[in-house]
Amino acid sequence: MNPSKRLGIALAVSLAEGISAWVALAQSPSVRTTPERPGDAVALGRYLVKTTGCNDCHTSGYNAAAGNLAEAQWLTGDNLGWKGPWGTTYATNLRLYFAGLTEAQWLAHARVMEPRPPMPWFNLRAMSDTDLRAIYRYVKAAGPAGEPAPAYLPPGKTPAGPFVQFP
């Protein structure tokens, strides 16, 4: 066998070994740390709220606690202000917000809404109807809780409470 052919076979063998090791790793239950995307709407909504960042802004103290916050407090809004050229915004208490909305109203609103920064409305708009419905059903099932977030302040007003300053 010529040397280049021998090298080719050696490479093919090591590639095959690499792939089978990778497949074994991927199939091993011990390395699967992320749960599968749930099928049930409420469970899917919970999963989406947790993984797409809604809690990061809409749940007071969620980041500081590295996500270890009682679920009863999820999405009850925050009194941390986000101050920039748009004024000062406060992440809405979604537990109260969804209580006043039908599922059909939510689906229609989510497709057109453009709240002020730093709300990433474009991420919601990119979600499927299934995902938007699931978020709605999860928050509805959790029920209303907490107090409304502070009211929006127009540019030029200094918030009384804590706030993050954007340039």
Residue from 38, 84, 118, 146 that binds ligand HEC (CB under 6 A)? Answer: 118
Residue from 44, 46, 47, 54 that binds ligand HEC (CB under 6 A)? Answer: 54
Tokens of 29: 């239950």
β-bridge mates for residue 141, sequence order: none
> In 10 A of CB 51, how many CB atoms?
12
83 binds ligand HEC per the rule CB under 6 A = no
44 binds ligand HEC per the rule CB under 6 A = no
Of 19-27, 29-37, 119-127, 159-167, which segment contacts ligand HEC by CB under 6 A? 119-127
Q: ∠ CA(7), CA(9), CA(11), 5° rounding?
A: 70
Q: Closest CB to ligand HEC among 55 and 72?
A: 55
* Cis, bond preceding 38 (omega within 30 deg of 0): no
